[in-house]
Chain A
Amino acid sequence: MPDATGLELIAHELREANEGSILQTEFRHRRAVLEVAPEHVPAVLQQLHDKGYTFLASLHGVDYYPEEPRLGVLYELMDMHEVDRISVKARVSTQAPRIPTATGLFPGANFPEREVYDMFGVVFDGHPDMRRILMPEDFEGFPQRRDFPVGGEPVLFTYNEETGYGKYQ
């Protein structure tokens, strides 16, 4: 991990290169997070890649429900030589959930991005194959969003066979 000072130095460097790319930094529980404007994500990832963070350890989505913008996409990067980690976070709203893809830089981001799309509905612009990966293709809605009902089936027992779905016609 870069320490708090190291994180500020990296953030400063990235701000120099791209005006308005870093919205804020967060250093908590020894974890360094750069919050990045969605449109600047590929440029920031490229710069971090050049600095040595060459491994995308994880890419996942979050729903920060009452907060706005609601959805978050997190990139966990790792420097394999220094054994050093840094997180990049981008926030998008549910009205326009679009973010440029990272598959050009990290080919391994292909499936995780599809999963984030499947579960949270974030569309990754430029992704070679933007389809659902886990849910059926005709599934409606994005099940991991906080406002999606948990769902489930009413379970059929003998006492509710008359009113349930399974009554023999």
Chain B
Amino acid sequence: MEIKRETVDPSDFRVRQLNARDMLRGDLVGEELDKFVEQSVMTTTLEKAVSWSQGNSIYPMTFGLACCAIEMMSIVGMRVDIARFGWEAFRASPRQADLLILSGRVSVKMAPVIRRIYDQMLEPKWAISMGACCSSMGVFNNYALVPSDKFMPIDVHVPGCPPRPEALMHGILRLRDKIQGHPPDGWRERYDAVGTEEVLTPEQQRRSAQDPAINVFPGGDTAGA
């Protein structure tokens, strides 16, 4: 019988497994050890690691405004399953949610309520404006409605009337890119929301006491909870 010998690719799983065994035994030394470490260990910054995990584990708020909410509910179903991206745990309390999906038209009377819910959410938080009504008031552009951009910061607008679940899915993936790519966007400054963070630095506490924004309480005060 003829024995056939072939060179095995060093990235082959079996080779790496043998290398790992040698490393644990202490048999791997010198240049080979350096090479093994280079292959097995990944270095990154803390910020990147944190935003990577944040983008892959978003807790949306259970909050439906109108017909878009029906499409929003279907994204947790089996066809476009957002559990694939770790976004499926809808939370019934703003204190536990990271994402507010405004699914539907916002009336003048509802706007302060939504703003309050948004302010109650913990940092970091994001918002998706879903559908034509919420972004530009769509077919209901009359005295009763207000566009969501006017009273709170929106990170992603999803167009459509209503958007298909796939469209919302696309918006969600864009938001994930945004979270993982560029964490802060300066929304707080733009919308005069500085001082509404749940945990305030002493400097922020001083400024917040001077010029209190809505629903802001100093640390430890649970009156607003």
Residues of A within 8 A of B (CB): 134-136, 139, 143, 148-153, 155-156, 165-166, 168
How far is B109's CA from A168's CA once the two chains are assembled, in angstroms?
25
Shortest Cβ distance from A132 into B: residue: B109
Once the chains bind, are B109 and A153 in contact (CB under 8 Å)? no
B149 touches A (CB below 8 Å) = yes
Shortest Cβ distance from A137 into B: residue: B109
Once the chains bind, are A152 and B109 in contact (CB under 8 Å)? no
Once the chains bind, are B150 and A165 in contact (CB under 8 Å)? yes
The segment out of B45-53, B136-144, B167-175, B214-222 that lies at the interface is B136-144
Q: Beyond the given A135-B144, A149-B143, A152-B141, please list 5 additional residue pairs across the A-B interface where CB-CB is below 8 A.
A: A150-B142, A155-B137, A155-B141, A156-B149, A166-B149
Q: Which size bracket describes the interface of B in this complex?
A: 10 to 19
Q: Which of A139, A150, A155, A168 contacts B108 (CB 8 A)?
A: A139
Contact sample, A vs B, 16 pairs, CB 8 Å cutoff: A135-B144, A139-B108, A148-B143, A149-B143, A151-B143, A152-B137, A152-B141, A152-B143, A153-B141, A153-B145, A153-B150, A155-B136, A155-B137, A156-B149, A165-B150, A166-B149
Most buried by B among A148, A152, A165: A152
B58 touches A (CB below 8 Å) = no
Judged by DSSP, the binding face of A is loop
Once the chains bind, are B108 and A136 in contact (CB under 8 Å)? yes
Q: Which residues of B contact A152 (CB under 8 A)?
A: 137, 141-143, 145
B147 touches A (CB below 8 Å) = yes
Q: Which residues of A contact B136 (CB under 8 A)?
A: 155-156
Q: Which residues of A contact B149 (CB under 8 A)?
A: 156, 166
B152 touches A (CB below 8 Å) = no
B75 touches A (CB below 8 Å) = no
- What is the minimal beta-carbon distance from B141 to any residue of chain A, in angstroms? 4
